[in-house]
Amino acid sequence: MTVDTSLPILVVDDYRTMVRIIRNLLKQIGFENVDEASDGSEALEKLKTRPFGLVISDWNMAPMTGLDLLKAVRAEAALTRLPFIMVTAESKADNVIAAKQAGVSNYIVKPFNAATLKAKIHAVLGEG
């Protein structure tokens, strides 16, 4: 199955520079339909008003963490199957386990490049 690069993607990070980096990496691999949210609360509002095909969220945000956002997304009946990739500087096994238990689709540890992001997206959305 080929990945649809017109798929709408929501990037969630409270650090503007990281949002810009992820946007640029997505553009490098062909994704241009990218929206952003600066925290989990804003992301939830956007997810309720517009369909997205993928969420890429940072873990460490305030007031709502990426893990809290993931749990809220999985609690919404319409969003339970939405692909969700967690991005974090934390590579501790406990964090990976917590994210998996909460229903994360994939996990990326910072720093990463376009090839890593592409591989993770393709693993979640289908090979292409």
Q: State the 10-residue block means of pLDDT for the chain, 128 residues long.
A: 88 96 97 96 95 96 94 95 93 90 96 96 83
DSSP string, 88-105: ES---HHHHHHHHHHT-S
Spatial distance between the Cα atoms of 60 and 65, rounded to a whole number of angstroms: 6
The answer to whether the CB of 48 falls within 8 A of the CB of 73 is no
Q: Does residue 51 fall inside a structural domain?
A: yes
The reported pLDDT for the residue numbered 127 is: 59
The answer to whether residue 3 sits within a structural domain is: no
CATH for 42: 3.40.50.2300
| 6 Rama sector, left if φ>0, alpha if ψ -120 to 50, beta otherwise | alpha
Give how many domains the chain has, as a whole number: 1
Predicted local distance difference test score (pLDDT) of residue 126: 81
Residue 14 lies in a domain: yes
Rg of the chain on CA atoms, in Å: 13
Let me know: does 74 contact 55? Beta carbons within 8 Å: no
Rounded (10°) CA dihedral 97, 101, 102, 108: 40
* Separation between Cα atoms, residue 8 and residue 87, nearest integer Å: 18
Q: Which residue range(s) make up the domain with 77?
A: 9-125
Q: Which residues contact 94 (CB under 8 A, 6 or more apart)?
A: none
Q: Would residue 4 count as lying in a domain?
A: no
